[in-house]
Chains A and B, each alone.
Chain A
Amino acid sequence: MISTPGDVLIVLLAAAGTFFGGVAAVGVLRLPDLYTRAHAASKSDTLGAVLSLAAVAITFGSGVTTVKTVFLLVFMFVTNPTAAHAITRAAHDQGIEPWTTDDRRQREQDRERTRDADRDRSPEVGAE
């Protein structure tokens, strides 16, 4: 099936695109607040989409379709950061405070307090 270097490249690009798309999804779920989530959504998502589109472009070979795909790719590069900027700017305008490591310390302290109070909880805190 995978015979030519081109095919290998396509598979690699598509796999990398999927990987970064997955990273974006995981990042949006795991990161603590709007600003940090926007990092994951803007960067990983852009690269994921761009790598997938590059795979598409190579699959089609040379031709108008490829040119169009490249245009799509360029537009992704222009619009994704703009959208992330618009969202975070709106959040900033609304006075939403960015999450800092202080918040984590605060939460860990709170957690220890509850753990002291409630001894038989399982110690799964590290994975946060």
Chain B
Amino acid sequence: MGGEGSTEVLVPVGESSTLRNTVAYAVRAAQDAAGVESEGGGEGATGPAESGATVHFVYPAGWRSGDPKDDPRFDRARELLDRLEVWAEEDADPDGPPVTVETALVGRERYLFSPGDFAAVLADYAEDRGLEVVVVDPEYQPGGNAPMLRPLEFELRQAGLTVEEAPVERPARRTRFLGRANLSQFLLLFGVSYAFYLLLGGFALTGFELATGAITAGLVAYLLWRISLTETPHVTRYPLRAARMALYAPYLLWEIAKANLSIAYVVLHPDLPIDPSLERFEAAVWGDLPVTTLANSITLTPGTLTVEVSERSFYIHTLTASSREDLFDGALERAVRFVFYGRDAAAIPSPRERGDSGPGIDDGGEET
């Protein structure tokens, strides 16, 4: 580790697939540094025993809890920290300097939300104990689904700490925000932006409009071309898809109108005849755009609301029993498949027939 290593290392931890490797790396790094120090410290040092390494595993408790004793998440966090102690002992080089493991659960009295919040509690901990080096797990995600590792590293550096990402053996499977880009994506984005700009300007094709439009569209395309389109556009497919979309739009509008009449009926009915429940089903659509279209369509149509989508699993909140029936009959899903994959795909059976419509997490009783 050379001169940069430190015998005291702070490792922020949470559930992650590469945590085991990170622990091993952090322990070895601290040991290496301790070894170097004891040799370099030279004559005065009495041996490696006194200049041992210390690894601090810190679990930022990113939630706020009314009663910390009752929250199962604290138990899980403590279990993880206990497990880490065992791992660290296993990973320590038995011939190297001794390793002390410290674990801590921090931030429990605060509600941690942004990377800055997490960095603040970690920096506080580091300052209290005079730590300077932080080893982070490349798969560490304190904020749940939101990617926050890079901003967290940045904030920690701002706080004056040395941040190091553990080189884990398994390559990090974190998808890159910027996809691979190519020229056709750029041109498509540029063209659409340009057309949109001119449209808003009322197609006054003066030199000024054309010039400013080109600049604006160029900026938009330059900034977003690697973000907004994730695959190579197949321009030849678009007209067909647009035509099918044009068929889909009136159908969706009709469904939306029906949805609103049924909601209006339910809302204005004196008895408020609702029977909400959360349902889950596996949709037979693939890819970002079709899934997004289906999720939004579901939200817009009768008594159904997309709560969570992961891959193909949809969690749908349904307001009434009849809306559940409609959902599992799969008319919308079929229509979305028709738009994106053509008429053949529309023939795939409905979720109910496929057996993909599981009972919800929460099965509310039937209305009596």
Task: List residues of A whose CB falls within 8 A of some B CB.
Answer: 19-20, 23, 26-27, 30-33, 35-36, 38-40, 42-44, 46-47, 64, 67-68, 71, 77-78, 80-82, 84-85, 88-89, 91-93, 97-102, 126-128
Indicate whether B257 reaches chain A with its CB closer than 8 angstroms. Answer: yes
Indicate whether B299 reaches chain A with its CB closer than 8 angstroms. Answer: yes
Q: In this complex, what residue of A is CB-closest to B300?
A: A81
- For A85, the chain B residues whose CB sits under 8 A away are 295-296, 299, 305-307
A88/B307 contact (C-beta < 8 A), A23-B268, A43-B260, A44-B264 known: yes
Our pick among A43, A89, A100 for the contact of B362 (Cβ within 8 Å) is A100
Indicate whether B132 reaches chain A with its CB closer than 8 angstroms. Answer: no
Can you sample 22 A-B contacts with CB below 8 Å? A20-B260, A23-B264, A31-B267, A31-B272, A31-B274, A33-B276, A35-B278, A39-B319, A42-B299, A44-B267, A64-B199, A71-B199, A77-B296, A78-B296, A81-B296, A81-B299, A89-B308, A98-B276, A100-B275, A100-B364, A100-B365, A102-B364
Indicate whether B130 reaches chain A with its CB closer than 8 angstroms. Answer: no
- For A64, the chain B residues whose CB sits under 8 A away are 199, 202-203
Indicate whether B224 reaches chain A with its CB closer than 8 angstroms. Answer: no
Consensus secondary structure, chain B interface: mixed
A102 to B277: give the CA distance in the assembly, Å.
11
Do A68 and B263 touch across chains, with their CB atoms under 8 A apart?
no
A124 to B299: give the CA distance in the assembly, Å.
34
- For B276, the chain A residues whose CB sits under 8 A away are 33, 35-36, 98-101
- For A128, the chain B residues whose CB sits under 8 A away are 272
CB distance from B57 to the nearest CB of A (A): 25
A80 to B259: give the CA distance in the assembly, Å.
15
CB distance from B336 to the nearest CB of A (A): 14
A92 to B200: give the CA distance in the assembly, Å.
39
